[in-house]
Structure 1
Amino acid sequence: MTRPTDSHFFLIGVSVLLFQRLGLTIGEGSVPVMVLALVVLAFGFFVSGEMAVQPMRLALILVVVVIGAIGLLLHPVNTSPASLSLAVAAWLPAVLMPAGARPVGIRRQVKNPMNVDSLQNLDLDARAFITAIFWTMFCASCAAIIQFVSSYAFGILIDPMAALPSWMALPGFNSTYPVVWGGSWYRANGVIFLEASFMSLFAVFGLVLCWSGTLSLSTKRKIIVTTVFLVALLGSVATSGLVLVPLLIAALSRTPLGRRVMAAVVLTAIAGASSFPPILSFVSKALQNPLDTSGQVSVASRIYRPYLDVLDLIQNSPWLGIGPGSSRAYVESLDVGVTTPTLMKVTVEYGVLGLLAFSLLWFSLIQASRLSYLLKLALLVALLVPTDGLTNSLLVPLFTWMLLLTARPQSSAHVPATLSIGRKLKGSY
């Protein structure tokens, strides 16, 4: 079997985002194409000997499968076998460990938390994969700005992928579910992302990646990228990405340029919020009655209310939960349509033991990766936002592969003198 080159991994990185909204209808559900493709890729690495099964991770996946199966048997109402299958498929590549991987010790990370290894010191596959993801997020942000301007100025939402036939499109924002609120003030999803909350999340993650020191970007590129990501974040009118703002502040604080950019952003935000009515409305709505748990305020329903109700939902089965997919019924009972925060969802569906298994699995991946500690925290936080997190079939595979490919340091065995995508090894992407 021919080993994939860095060009292949660059294309894979582009594809996992570019085709995020594609799915195959199987029965009553839809399976993301990205999940299937990454499972096949993992199998190829296993067969070729590039990666081996990590026993502890395999055991944790089996624990999740057993707990989910028990939940389906004991609670057949409001549960979904498809939910368990998707969660397992999303996590399946995580059972592997790249050959030659050497976990980075916690002590080393604490001594240099911002940048354990820059991208230049990582395996070439990881460099190509992460670089592709970064620039694909940038292109998606550009598309989100076009969507935002078109919909706000002309009332026309530009979203070509919404024309996909139902059998090959994942149910999501602007595809199966039309935009029915906000008048001309639509939520921009950057075309390639399933919904606006993903655009928000990846826009801020792109900013963290830009300023964390991992990528080697010129000052001019950093300013351009930062501007585009911030405008896309505003255009999405979604708050999911805001959970990464503390890490973005930490990344910006690393350099004098970053601190100047942060000051400029704050001043611009204040001026924009006071002069641009939609932004002011968005900010005021986000801050309005944040502790109101009546269900009338989205922020409260996303953050507070699920955790207040979780004990009532699992009081009869706290250790094993009440079955995969059962939290959906709870969400539908709320007065506002939101997804369940990941900790609440996993606890309800898989119980305390399932939550522990998922957490240990994720910690094992983070511990093995050579990404900067700041980026590891960003990936961790990104799975705790209200997008079903630890069982999300779109976020988990992408983040898993970022951690898997960065578990191996630069290897002289297959790293050529120049990158096959046309860049010198000492240069930047």
Structure 2
Amino acid sequence: MELVENVVIVGAGIAGLTTSLGLHRLGIKSLVLESADCLRITGFALLIWTNAWKALDAIGVGDSLRQQHDTLLGNVTSSTESGLQTAEMSFKAKGKVGKHEVRCVKRKLLLEALSNELPSGTIRFSSKLVAIEESGFFKLLHLADGTVIRTKVLIGTDGVNSVVAKWLGFNKATHTGRCGIRGCATFDNNHGFEPLFNQFFGDGVRFGTIPCDPRFVYWFFTFAPSPDQEKELEENPTKAREFVLSKLGVIPDQIRGVFESTELEAFKLISPLRCRKPWELLWKSISKGNVCVAGDAIHPMTPDLGQGGCSALEDGVVLARCLGEVLLRNSSKKSENLEEEYKNIEMGLKKYASERQWRSFDLVATAYAVGYIQQSDGRVLSFLRDKFLAPFLTSLVLNKADFDCGKLTHNS
């Protein structure tokens, strides 16, 4: 069976749904292919920084998410070895793009907010892309179920193991030697936490707790295991839980209680932290002809800036704007010249690529550097981090969020 579509987006994650919704707001239909049989909501929650709220407002879903999540007032960083606070930062300050805004958002609610605004039938679940074939000015997409889709535009938002990124010539993302575990604690009544991002370092680990709403607290824990240890912890969540609790160090009982009250199932979700080698983003193009990539397909990064999902939202808005301009122009001309139409699409995707190249490089490189310093267990670097670098690293995180990807159209 062969289907024909103008725009196909591979992957119904944050970048894919944002791009599709942005195009929909501009009156452009797209088809989103998702290999899973439902929306992928693993990860529990994510920090949504100022730059991401700008993107969410651009596609019209910011206000609905604000109503469901508490505003965070600031960040407090402490040492697990001394128990002392090493840095504090307020989120109330004004940046270059306006007042800072930070909330911890449940991933499920974010994906539902994006998908619920799309027309019925936009997302095609259980649709795994296995091969891409050239066909003149089109791409033929071969799916695992035997379906073939002919499309004028192919957008890969299919994550860290992207088929589309591989087709564009990108290498596999590099394992950083670190792993992450994410979880949450849900309380029967108000959890009593202040609206703060509490972050801790020491003994080669980094972790933190962040309240999302009055009953839900999200946590993350990153560490650098030995090869044998990584496999052992993946296979035995009880040992993973014991390992995490043993590494918490000197922290308040309220913080420790979040980890202790988390269901054992969360400790199964150990994931290697991968990132794109930053220089690859400089000498390889994220677009080629009528094909491009966005989100983790282009810039998988370590979570140390909290910008993975946020930059995916930026990608979606910029891509919808750049592609939408040329597709609407093609539509108004009603040209039957496929070559001219193809060249216009190519120009639109190149414009998107040029806007996102340096931003992606900056975030990937900075996240890796920040993570390396924050999670170091070396005596000298740990001393410098706790005594001198902690305030700088904390302000750097806020600085990278001080960014506006713009509206869906240049006139809006």
- TM-score in terms of structure 1 length: 0.25
Higher relative helix content:
1
Higher relative strand content:
2
